[in-house]
Amino acid sequence: MLDSHNVLGFVAVVANGIAGIVALIAWRVTRWRGRWVWILTIVAELLFMIDVVLGTVLVAAYKYKPSGVHMFYGFLVFLTVGLAFQYRDAMRGRTELLYGLVGLFLMGLGIRAVFNVM
């Protein structure tokens, strides 16, 4: 299960980086906008949510002891996705900008979380 958590973490980092860049391009280039941008963003964020739940199961059920900083970054990932969803209406007209920046921020959090385990 730990290997799944590690692999899913890397996949989520890359997916959120790609989704963030695509959303920022869609913010500037109107023809890039569409349902596919949101599907990519949702899948990327969902990968992180699954990874956070998997990490929580590792700690709760299997008594795995990661560093406190690693768990803090996992909590921040969870919180960031919720806050982005909460503020999407306030950013009406600039939603691609919001989710582009959130995707890159999540990528950064994921990178920090991965390097704090080693």
**Residue 117 pLDDT exceeds 80:** no
Share of residues in the chain with pLDDT > 70 (%): 99
Average pLDDT over residues 6-31: 96
DSSP the chain: -HHHHHHHHHHHHHHHHHHHHHHHHHHH-GGG-SHHHHHHHHHHHHHHHHHHHHHHHHHHHH-----HHHHHHHHHHHHHHHHHHHTTTTTTT-HHHHHHHHHHHHHHHHHHHHHTT-
CA–CA dist 23, 61 (Å, integer): 37
pLDDT-based confidence at 25, cuts 50/70/90? very high
Report pLDDT for 21: 98
pLDDT tens for 84-109 read 999 988 988 899 999 999 999 999 99
| CB of 43 closer than 8 Å to CB of 99 | no
Predicted TM-score (pTM) of the model is 0.90
CA–CA dist 56, 35 (Å, integer): 31
Average pLDDT over residues 52-75: 91
Sign (positive or negative) of CA dihedral 112, 58, 6, 78: negative
Which residue would you say has higher pLDDT here, 17 or 90? 17
